[in-house]
Amino acid sequence: MLNGIIRRILSAIPTLLVGITLCFLIIHLAPGNPATRFLNPSQTAATQEIIRERFGLNQSLPIQYFHWLKQVLFHFDFGYSFYNGKDCTEVLISALGPTIILSFWALVFALSVGISLGIFTALRADTHVDRVINSTMMIFLSTPAFWLGLMFIGLFTIHLNWLPGSHLHSLYYDQLDSFGQLLDSVRHLILPVFTLGLPLAATVFKYIRAGMIDALQSDYTLAARARGIRQSTILWKYSLKNSLLPLVSLLGVIIPALLSGAVIVEVVFALPGVGRAMVTAVFGRDYPILMAGASLAFFIVILFNIVADIFYRILDPRIRNSAGGL
Amino acid sequence: MILQICLLCLNIFSLFSCQKNHHGQFEHSDLYPKNQQIQDGGTLVIGIRAEPESINPLFALSQSSRNIIRLVFSRLADINEDLKGFTPRLAKSWEISTDNSQITFHLRTNVHWQDGTPFTSKDVVFTYQMHINPVVAWDGMAYKQNISSVEAFNDSTVVFSFYENHRSMLSDAVEGYILPAHILQNISPQNLFTSDFNRHPIGTGPFQLNSWIDMQTITLLKNKRFYESGKPHLDQIIFRIIPDNFNLLNQLKAGEVDLVESIYPKDFQAIIQNWNHGHSDIRPISYLGRRYDFIGWNMIDPESYRNSIDRGESQDAIKYNIQPNRLFGSQKVRAALTMALDREAIMNTVNFGMAVPMNGPVSPILPSYNEAANIVWEYNPQKALKFLAEQGWTDSDGDNILDKNGIPFKFEILTESGNLLWEQVATIVQAQLADIGIQVTPRFLEPALLYGKLLPAKDFDAVIIGWSVGLTPDFSPLFHSSTFYTPFHFTGYYSREYDRLDELAKTAANDDMAQKYYDKIAQLLSNDLPYTWLYYRMECSAVHGRFKDIIYDRRGLYNNPEDWWIPLDERQYIDKVFKK
Amino acid sequence: MKILPQKTQTNQSMTSGCITIGLVFIFLLLGPLLTPINHTSQNLSASLQPPSSSHWMGTDYYGRDVLARLVFGGRITWIIAIASTFMAVNIGTIIGLFSAYQGGWIDLIVMRLVDVMLAFPKLFVVLLIVGLGASSTSLLIWVLALFSWMEIARIVRSEVMSQKNRTYIKSVRALGLRTPRIVFIHILPNVLGPVIVSSVLLISTIILVESSLSFLGLGVQAPSASWGSILNDGRIDPLGTWWLSVPAGLLILTTVIGFNLIGNGLHKQLDLKKIV
Amino acid sequence: MNSSRQKQPILEVNNLHVEYPVNFRGGFRRQKKQAVNGVSFTIFPGECFTIVGESGCGKSSIIDAILGFVKIKTGTVLFEKQDLTKLTPKNFRKLRPKIQPVFQDYNQALNPHQRIEDIFRETLPKHLLESQTDQLLSSVGLSKEIIRCFPHQLSGGQKQRVVLARALSVNPALLLLDEPVTSLDMSVFVQIVELLISLRKTRNLTFLLVSHNLSIVHLLADRVAIMKNGQFLEQQPLTTLLRNPKHDYTKNFINQITQL
């Protein structure tokens, strides 16, 4: 078991390396020079060279790459931002917080809404309620996230003035008591979490509903029913367990989707997350931040793939017990 | 991104007067009735679109960084509204030696850095050393080229010595914010760009940094040690970073943000409407700013330029022997293109009235501006066609596109992607030139790409961009032949007449003489048309009405932040909620 | 051809999807009849007019007719989505077939590559490339295709893997047929079903990614237009200039829903478990 | 049968070892499973050699190994004196029509997207297509109406007849029958077995039959090998085996037949 997990983790390392190398090439081979930002009319060639040297851009690409890799692997040092000279690790760690909070709650929201509505509608397949919920979910699945976000802000922030439409906290957050702070954070999170979570909830819903309907019509469920086992037991022990399984592997798909979605949501709602840091870095050609962000995104996605794999193996008896499995 | 043009020389003795500016209605200061008692306290929330890169005067480039630096740091002296005199800041007074080779500054003795260390002449000398250090690569290094040395006479006296007697000596000397020697001398210049100081600055300005939450807020608190007693009046200034324009404006409307700069003209119109009808407390503020937009024509042939560079020809040989551009090498063609554009319609469409026409190189905020000196190419498509026909461009094959020797009149016009105004201009230019049979393809490039194509390589046909100007006229980085290879001289313009006038204007004994040459320069350039000037923009800002005594003019909005205040009866929740 | 189980009669999802897409398609095809105004003709004095009888959907900054632009932009959106899906499907199918049929090390390496590319959050990396390279419509199509083929490749591979060991493939191999013939004549038609389903769904995804890019200012660049970029024109003031943001948003929504419905319908209809 | 001993063997399998990699997700190292563990036998023209054993004992792997669908670890497979394991893929492909398999699962044995007529179009020469197809179909007892059908429109017995016709279309010398009738119902079973017997006579075919179903073994086999865990327990002519089984395992099998 442990052996298998270690092997799975080791096998992810080449994936990670190839991915990071690809990122490096994409970023560094793209046309345009980050040092043009610092141009000014009196700038001499010598000054331009100094600025290039400051960023290590005067070296050849392979040297830049191996230097970068060495720093990352041995010192966990992603270098300094071209834009503001900040330590990339610091930038990302501080940006990771909001992204994690946002993604976590969006995931919780998506799973709870998706699973409960999925079960609810599967039990009422082909009724009016099912059709209404199904179509609503279809709409959320098909809405561009930014448009949803803008419409939410328009409705709930501007029109109704119920919820704030930007940032993580109010300006006077520090002046509030602890309950007030909690309330303040929750109010700020509602719209972004909805915006990010609704399309995901729709995805989860789709899988659960289909899985549940399949499971409810399957021979083992029918056989269980014939044996007189209680409906609720059938539902929880037989159907749900089997329809949750694909969800675990869906996790590997959801995480990249979450990160992509977070980019948009963070820009629309002015949240200080990784996505926004990356958008800023793309426009400012901030190579170190781009590299650090891409590596981080990569790492997270692969990590979750491994976790999903391991869970899958633990949960699925077919894999668990097969020869050579875990 | 708008690139900065430095103030290479400053007209201290100019004959400028306020009445001379016929756009006076845009430049006014809204002073609160003086009989009111000024009350301390309150919070100002400023909404900005992007996170400032650094609060270190040596590295700040963006407008929001510069604004924060204005609040945290001080200079020796600040320029006055008349662009003539200077208001003393860290320097109490100064005198110029009789031979015009030295300026002696007498510093204030009651100034402390925000960490409590006293400010002395050592800081001024250290700052100068940082400014001229090539490793630091300060973007204002050119100001200090004429300074031969800076020496401390004693703790409160500094002597600046100059190589040549220029009219700009004083402004060159006071340019740049003074840095704390006692902190920065411990950091090697190589590591300065990544040092912690950039995010935790210590200055002598009216406000000091309290906290900086990444991509969210930067909080400045009143500097209790500020050298002007009783100031500043506000308790704190918070910069709130809101990248999405929709969100930013709504927070302004909702009163969560008090001050926003660079508002899109269309949104600004709505703010004016609401203010005029008394629907809102958001006061629109507009003044002639520093920015103008233009179309730059590439006057040389990019390919022959590239080939000459590749052949390693001497710089002079290239300059004199370069082939003119097949399209824009001719002045008549450039004039025709200028006349084919309804520049007034362009100006009004993209700026919603928040701009003034511009026809020549001198910006309207400068004392040396003289509208009459420019040659104005009015909108006249017929005449444009005539000019083009004279140059051999006619529609001989009837495909509605002009051609000459079988080559159609087609070109690409570049501009920066993400700059809404320029993208709009490009779209309109395309449509208007299509009307006279010229096929234009707009291409929107990301800044690093655009400036990479333009500034070193001169590899383009035409471009729509803008400059941000300094408070003195200086066009040599743009048009003088000595700057042919520096980045900003991208049109490849070369004229001996211009070189002569430029040098005469710089070395003129007094401003009267200089004015004569500036008029000639304006006439020459507005005739030669290396640029087609489109319009000069007005800055559109808005601030909540409760803030009083904000002086805004052509210098900008941050002229007297230490004087801003809020009357007690207009205070809001945000002004009271913060515990001291 | 009746390889499908008899489930065709009651496939609501398919029907409503086809109707939706059909309506949008007719709108794009016959749109120019609705408005005589050219989508490029500017009228600077009639800028940002709300809907009226002369301009049913109002005008944009340059006084251009928004309805005409929606038709024109919609065509671009569709072209981008369909072209990059087409390319992605081709790339994915060929790589999937090749990888599965070759097996061994090649398969291992190709599948690692697929893992790597799937691990990229799509918007992230498209953002990176489109942002760093100059954005043009053809680059956009290429990049979208290059980062969308992996799922197709995976599906094709796993289908081929399962088909490859079926006895009919063994049988035709035993007949002495050449490998390309086996792959293209015998295997490919049997894996097309799931490929069609996922490529229809891919069209939706690509429309969403393209509009997100346009929102970030990196998608289709003016003077060309897509629904995403028209929506982005209205982004400065989404409520004030609702005639720019709302119809474009709704059209994106409708199209994506339509393709999703068709995809779901096909999925049901081609219920592939029952074919073999 | 005795006479066949003097002939050259058509197929000679010596000390065959086959192992399968066991795939598991994500890992680089693969574990191996021994499927065939040192099997040798010889088949002479015209004879029906039968391998009997429980499912999973490795019978089908022998067929896959002869057809070159699995990698042989050690051992040789000589077909008409040619070592199949040493042939280049191209030469192997040329030789393939001589050896044709018939598999158990008739549902999977036909391409669901191919009409019956198209199956024959792949191997038969164009000018003879129609006549030969007719002839083949009638030789397996099918009417020619079915040629426009897709496989899912045929019954199980019809499918298996089509499979046989397809195999015969390339004029094979050796048919590898892997449980050819096991999935068919009883009446069809008998028809197909009768068809096999008659085809063997008319076309002078050699059979390698693999089955765990002893009725068909009884009807078809000349010699029988009993297989367990990848190895042959014993190899005897059918009559000898029935009279004098050596292993207990074999006895159990034979008891089953007598009970039938």
- Provide the shortest C-alpha distance from residue B535 to chain C (in Å): 16
Write down the domain spans for chain D: 3-108+172-258
Tokens of B54: 């650094």
Q: Answer positive or negative: Cα dihedral of B510, B513, B517, B518.
A: positive
**∠ CA A78-A79-A81 to the nearest 5 degrees?**
110
> What gap in Å lies between CA B349 and CA D252, rounded to an integer?
98
* Structure confidence at residue C22 (pLDDT): 93
- Name the closest residue on chain D to residue A321, using Cα atoms: D24
The reply to whether residue A15 touches residue C116, judged by beta carbons under 8 angstroms, is yes
Q: What is the pLDDT of residues B197-208, one digit of tens each?
A: 998 999 999 999
Residue C97 clears pLDDT 60, i.e. is over it:
yes
> What gap in Å lies between CA B286 and CA B272, rounded to an integer?
10
The reply to whether residue B199 touches residue A86, judged by beta carbons under 8 angstroms, is yes
Q: What is the pLDDT of residues B362-397, one digit of tens each?
A: 999 888 898 899 999 999 999 999 999 999 999 888
**∠ CA D151-D153-D154 to the nearest 5 degrees?**
70
Q: Answer positive or negative: Cα dihedral of A28, A32, A38, A42.
A: positive
Cross-strand partners of D11: D43, D79
The reply to whether residue D25 touches residue A323, judged by beta carbons under 8 angstroms, is no
- Name the closest residue on chain D to residue C170, using Cα atoms: D69
Q: What percent of chain C has pLDDT over 90?
A: 14
- Choose the mutation target among D111, D120, D164 for the interface with C, i.e. most C CBs under 10 Å: D111
* Structure confidence at residue A319 (pLDDT): 54
Nearest to B487 among A43, A87, A272 (CB): A43
* Structure confidence at residue A42 (pLDDT): 64
Identify the residue whose tokens are 């990176």: C128
What is the pLDDT of chain B when averaged over all its residues?
Answer: 85
Residue B191 is given by DSSP the state G
- Provide the shortest C-alpha distance from residue C256 to chain A (in Å): 5
The reply to whether residue B417 touches residue C135, judged by beta carbons under 8 angstroms, is yes
Phi, psi of B91 (to 5 degrees): -90, 135
Q: What is the pLDDT of residues D147-197, one digit of tens each?
A: 888 888 888 888 888 888 888 888 888 888 888 777 777 778 888 888 888
DSSP three-state, residue D234: strand
Q: Looking at chain C, how many residues does it have?
A: 276
Partners of chain C (3+ Cβ pairs below 8 A): A, B, D
Residue C9 clears pLDDT 60, i.e. is over it:
no
Q: What is the pLDDT of residues C132-143, one digit of tens each?
A: 665 678 888 888
Residue A249 clears pLDDT 80, i.e. is over it:
no
Q: Answer positive or negative: Cα dihedral of B553, B555, B558, B561.
A: negative
For residue C5, name the pLDDT band (cuts at 50, 70, 90): very low
Cβ contacts of A301 on chain C, cutoff 8 Å: 119-121
Cβ contacts of D22 on chain A, cutoff 8 Å: 323-324
Amino acid identity for residue B221 in this structure: L
* Structure confidence at residue C271 (pLDDT): 59
The reply to whether residue A175 touches residue B448, judged by beta carbons under 8 angstroms, is no
Using the CB atoms, write b or e for A77-99: b if 16+ within 10 Å.
bbbbbbbbbbbbbebbebbbebb
Q: Which CATH class is domain B77-182?
A: alpha beta
* Structure confidence at residue C123 (pLDDT): 67
| CA nearest neighbour of B174 among B136, B131, B134 | B131
Q: Are B115 and B203 a contacting pair, CB within 8 Å?
A: no
* Structure confidence at residue C135 (pLDDT): 63
- Provide the shortest C-alpha distance from residue A32 to chain D (in Å): 39
Using the CB atoms, write b or e for A223-245: b if 16+ within 10 Å.
ebeeeeeeeeebbeebbbebbbb
Q: Is C10 on the interface with A (CB under 8 A)?
A: no
> What gap in Å lies between CA A325 and CA A305, rounded to an integer?
17
Pick the CATH number of B43-70+190-286+539-577 from 3.40.50.720, 3.40.190.10, 3.40.50.300, 1.20.120.420: 3.40.190.10
Range of the domain at A259: 2-31+78-322
Count the domains in chain C: 1
The reply to whether residue D114 touches residue C186, judged by beta carbons under 8 angstroms, is yes
Q: Which CATH class is domain D3-108+172-258?
A: alpha beta
Q: Are D66 and D75 a contacting pair, CB within 8 Å?
A: no
The reply to whether residue C176 touches residue D170, judged by beta carbons under 8 angstroms, is yes
Q: Are B132 and B165 a contacting pair, CB within 8 Å?
A: no
> What gap in Å lies between CA A16 and CA A303, rounded to an integer?
10
Q: What is the pLDDT of residues A186-236, one digit of tens each?
A: 999 999 999 999 989 998 898 888 888 888 777 777 777 777 777 777 777
Residue B546 is given by DSSP the state T
Q: What is the pLDDT of residues C199-246, one digit of tens each?
A: 898 999 899 888 888 777 777 766 678 888 888 777 767 777 788 888
Residue B32 is given by DSSP the state P
Omega prior to C32 cis, within 30 of 0: no
Residue B340 clears pLDDT 70, i.e. is over it:
yes
> What gap in Å lies between CA B126 and CA B176, rounded to an integer?
12
For residue B518, name the pLDDT band (cuts at 50, 70, 90): very high
Q: What percent of chain B has pLDDT over 90?
A: 42
> Distance of alpha carbon D217 from its chain centroid, rounded?
13
> Distance of alpha carbon D39 from its chain centroid, rounded?
17
Cβ contacts of A319 on chain D, cutoff 8 Å: 24-25
For residue B543, name the pLDDT band (cuts at 50, 70, 90): very high
For residue B261, name the pLDDT band (cuts at 50, 70, 90): very high
> What gap in Å lies between CA B48 and CA B63, rounded to an integer?
10
Mean pLDDT calculated for residue range C37-63 = 78
Residue D52 clears pLDDT 90, i.e. is over it:
no
* Structure confidence at residue B5 (pLDDT): 38
- Choose the mutation target among B253, B260, B424, B464 for the interface with C, i.e. most C CBs under 10 Å: B424
* Structure confidence at residue B296 (pLDDT): 93
Cβ contacts of C173 on chain D, cutoff 8 Å: 67, 69, 96
Cβ contacts of D69 on chain C, cutoff 8 Å: 170, 173
Neighbours of A111 (CB within 10 A): 18
The reply to whether residue B3 touches residue A31, judged by beta carbons under 8 angstroms, is no
Write down the domain spans for chain B: 43-70+190-286+539-577, 77-182, 290-537
Cβ contacts of C166 on chain D, cutoff 8 Å: 108
* Structure confidence at residue A324 (pLDDT): 35
Cα→Cα distances C251→A155, C21, C211, Å: 20, 10, 11
The reply to whether residue A8 touches residue D27, judged by beta carbons under 8 angstroms, is yes
Cβ contacts of C185 on chain D, cutoff 8 Å: 122
DSSP three-state, residue D13: strand
DSSP three-state, residue D5: helix
Residue B37 is given by DSSP the state P
| CA nearest neighbour of B114 among B209, B203, B211 | B203
ipTM: 0.75
Whether chains B and A touch (3+ CB pairs under 8 A) is answered by: yes
Mean pLDDT calculated for residue range A131-140 = 88
> What gap in Å lies between CA C119 and CA A13, rounded to an integer?
13
The reply to whether residue A147 touches residue C235, judged by beta carbons under 8 angstroms, is no
Cα→Cα distances D131→B75, D88, D119, D137, Å: 104, 34, 15, 10
Identify the residue whose tokens are 């007074």: B93
Q: Answer positive or negative: Cα dihedral of D148, D151, D156, D157.
A: positive
- Provide the shortest C-alpha distance from residue D200 to chain A (in Å): 41
The reply to whether residue A26 touches residue C215, judged by beta carbons under 8 angstroms, is no
Interface of C with D in 159-218 (CB under 8 A): 166-168, 170-178, 181, 185-186, 189-190
Q: Is A4 on the interface with D (CB under 8 A)?
A: yes
Partners of chain A (3+ Cβ pairs below 8 A): B, C, D
- Provide the shortest C-alpha distance from residue C32 to chain A (in Å): 26
Residues 6+ away with beta carbon under 8 Å from A278:
A263, A289, A290, A293, A294, C124, C127
- Name the closest residue on chain C to residue D104, using Cα atoms: C167
Q: What is the pLDDT of residues B263-306, one digit of tens each?
A: 988 889 889 988 988 888 899 999 998 889 999 999 888 888 88
Q: Is C272 exposed, middle or buried (0-12, 13-18, 19+ CB in 10 A)?
A: middle
Domain assignment present for A41:
no
- Name the closest residue on chain B to residue C131, using Cα atoms: B446
- Cα distance from N-terminal residue to C-terminal residue, chain A: 4
Q: Please report, for the domain that includes residue A185, its CATH number.
A: 1.10.3720.10
B91: left (phi over 0), alpha (psi -120 to 50) or beta: beta
Domain assignment present for A134:
yes
Interface of C with A in 186-205 (CB under 8 A): 204
> What gap in Å lies between CA C49 and CA B218, rounded to an integer?
39
> What gap in Å lies between CA B18 and CA C209, rounded to an integer?
54
Comparison of pLDDT for A271 and B29, the residue scoring more: A271
Q: Answer positive or negative: Cα dihedral of D142, D147, D150, D153.
A: negative
Mean pLDDT calculated for residue range A66-83 = 86
- Name the closest residue on chain C to residue B441, using Cα atoms: C223
Range of the domain at C237: 3-46+55-275
Q: Is A303 on the interface with D (CB under 8 A)?
A: no
Q: Is D33 on the interface with A (CB under 8 A)?
A: yes
Q: Please report, for the domain that includes residue C165, its CATH number.
A: 1.10.3720.10
CATH of domain B290-537: 3.10.105.10
Q: Are B431 and B345 a contacting pair, CB within 8 Å?
A: no
pLDDT-wise least confident of B515-519, C171-175, C206-210: C171-175
Q: Is C90 on the interface with B (CB under 8 A)?
A: no
Count the domains in chain A: 1
Tokens of B319: 């300059």
The reply to whether residue A278 touches residue C127, judged by beta carbons under 8 angstroms, is yes
- Provide the shortest C-alpha distance from residue A166 to chain B (in Å): 7
DSSP three-state, residue C118: helix
- Provide the shortest C-alpha distance from residue C182 to chain D (in Å): 11
- Choose the mutation target among B349, B419, B441, B445 for the interface with C, i.e. most C CBs under 10 Å: B349
Nearest to A11 among D22, D23, D27 (CB): D27
Residue D25 clears pLDDT 60, i.e. is over it:
no
> What gap in Å lies between CA B62 and CA A84, rounded to an integer?
11
Mean pLDDT calculated for residue range C89-118 = 84
Mean pLDDT calculated for residue range C156-175 = 82
Residue B520 clears pLDDT 70, i.e. is over it:
yes
Cross-strand partners of B236: B43, B221
Domain assignment present for A51:
no
The reply to whether residue B418 touches residue C235, judged by beta carbons under 8 angstroms, is no
> What gap in Å lies between CA B416 and CA B444, rounded to an integer?
5
Using the CB atoms, write b or e for D88-124: b if 16+ within 10 Å.
eeeebbeebbbbbbbbbbbbbbbbbbbbbbebbebbb
Nearest to A260 among C119, C121, C235 (CB): C121
Q: Looking at chain B, how many residues does it have?
A: 580
Pinpoint the alpha helices (H) of chain A. 2-29, 45-54, 61-75, 88-123, 128-142, 145-152, 178-216, 219-226, 231-233, 241-268, 274-284, 287-315, 317-321
Tokens of D22: 């066991």
- Name the closest residue on chain A to residue B242, using Cα atoms: A270
Q: Is C208 on the interface with A (CB under 8 A)?
A: yes
The reply to whether residue D24 touches residue A8, judged by beta carbons under 8 angstroms, is no
Tokens of C49: 């007019």
Residue A326 clears pLDDT 60, i.e. is over it:
no
> What gap in Å lies between CA B108 and CA A220, rounded to an integer?
90
The reply to whether residue B427 touches residue C48, judged by beta carbons under 8 angstroms, is no
